[in-house]
Structure formats: C-alpha cells, structure tokens
A and B are shown apart, each in its own frame.
Chain A
C-alpha cells in the first residue's frame, strides 16, 4: 500500500530497515499505524547512509506531521536543509504551519533557532512569537526562544513595551514578568537608578490592581535586591496594604484592611532586619494562623530561625 508521499519519489532502490524493539518480548511496544511504520523504516534506511536528497527531506516533513516530538527527524531535517541549500525563509513558513498545529511541541523551537541562526535574519520572528503567545501566553519554550532571539539579534528596544502589553492582558502572567526582568537586566549593563525607580513604580501600580499577585511582588522584591535598595523602602507601601499598627513590641492587624498577605510577609522581613524580632514573630504568627496557613510550617520556621539568631547574638 504505497503512501501518498512514496509516489512522489522513487523508493525502489531503498530497503527499509525494520525497527528492532529488543528481544522476543519487548516492553512498551506501540501499535503504530502502517504509514508511520513504513516511513520510519525508510528513515532508518536513508539515515544509515546519511542520504542527502529531496526525497529524504520530504520524508522528514511527513514524519514530523505524524510525530512532531521525533527529535532525530528534526536534526536530520536541519542537516538536509543546509546541505541542499534550501530557501530558509520557506522553511520558517513551513515550521509556522507545524507550530500552529502542535502548539505544545518544543522540538520546533530548537529547530527554529537553528534555522534562524543560519538565516541570520529575525524579520519573521517577533510577529510569529506574538501569534503563538496570543494562543498560549505562558508557553515556556516560546518565551525562552524570544530571549535567545533578543540576545542574538540585539532586539532589546521593543521588549519593555511588549511585556507591558502582555502584563496589561493578564497581570498574573509570570512569564511576562520574568521576561520583563530579562528585558531590564539581561544585557548585563548597569541600568541606572532611574530605571530601577521606574520599574519599582511599575511593579507597585501592578500590585495595587491585585495585591495578592505573587508575580508582581516577586518582581518588586527582585528589583530591590538587584538595585541594592533596602526593603524598608517599601515599608509604607506594605503598611497601606496590610494595615498594620505597631507599637514597640506588638503588631495589630485590622482584619478588614488586609489586602495582601505578601505585604505582611515583607513587613515581617523588614522588622526582622531591624532586629524587631517580637514584631516580626507576630506577623509570622498571623501568616501561619490566618492569612497563609498552608505555609504554616514555613512561617513557624522563619520565626524560630529569627529567635535563634537573636539568642545567638545576645
């Protein structure tokens, strides 16, 4: 039963190599469809002599549609494209078709990187990446690929605006926040204090929209550390979200005005850094008992660590 692609090219001279699954009674056998069995038989045959031909290229196209996770086929395809000096833009267009059909596949992105690197032109990339992220806004491999692309072609200027667009869409999209951190600091240059100030304001305004949003908080704390700013810079901001009244040794929380457990956590860290362990301990107790009880053990651990440290220094 000749398959469609087998009639495009002559395969008469090729003896397919059957798959050897090992022994008489191998584990995890798959009942392949016939076309896949036939195609992989020819693949093993042409790869065994590293054949460079249009029919081999066609074979890789067919196999990728049958099993896009077949990394061996992708790697062979890249070698064929280069050896046959194929039009790489045409390849990129073809890969886009495959990607639309197999959204979660990740071999595609390594292949695309190999092709674009050789093609040496990123013109199709950002629009295509954006299309993919519209469909799946947290796709790990697409974001990683975007990072590679930005570095490879020095495309830093568009990135802050793009992450803002994605964050506006979903302020909880952590991949977009991670990419923003990369966009600000990835070049490895000294970014300057005014940039840090702007980013701190950006993160704060995002937090005000959804005060429990861990993505924006992680970004804010990451900025402070990277910019070597003390946590106490955001004490007032946290107080507004966690409505904590403190006396010398005690923390009182107005229940109705707690809108962010994370603000309370940061306050605890600030108190602790000032050696106000009593106050920090009370904040951790509130987290453990009331505001973040699934992490009770962690808050208790923080508390006991701080108390031990205090005892050791006393």
Chain B
C-alpha cells in the first residue's frame, strides 16, 4: 500500500504572502483594461462633445413623446446629445477574436487536463489506501 501524501505546514508569513499575492493579481486585472480604454474614451468623449453643440431634438431624431420624456428627466437637446450620440463600436478585429477564443478554450483545456491528473491522485489515495 502506498503511503498517503503528507503536506508541509505553512507558516503565518507564507499565508500572508499568498493572500496578498492573490489580492495584487485581482487589482492588476481590474486596472489593466483601463490602459487600453483611457485613450479610446478621451477620443470618443471629444467627438461626442463636438457633435452635441447646436443639437436640436429634430437633428437627434427624437419624436414628440421622446422629447417630452427627455425634458421630464431634466435634459435639453445639448445634454441629451451626449447620451444619444454615444454608441458602441462593434467592428470585429479577427485577430483579437482568434486570440480571445484561443485564450478561453486553452484555459479550460489546461484546467481540465491538470485537474484530471490531480483527481486521479485524490481517488487513488481515497480508494486504494
């Protein structure tokens, strides 16, 4: 019979280090997209602000009832133009799409493969010993 694996005991400093490391990773992944978005947002905001000048309800394509609701919400045409002209860009970059698919699929494949190897160790210890 094979002896069960006996893990080492982790000291308090090691526990603190591991906890902090996970937190650093989380904050880094929260902040990282901002590097991409900052320039893009500034560019879009400038374009939207330029378009908002001299806007009318008609030029914004708002019918009478839509106009009435905007006014009830406290918006004039210039203020509403910022929201109305702000739009998503759904142009697909094929290379980015391929990279994303490879990353997501690769992540799950890696995880399932490594997990399966670890699971076999767990089952072997549980049922063989």
Q: Do A and B bind each other?
A: no
Interface residues of B (CB under 8 A from A): none
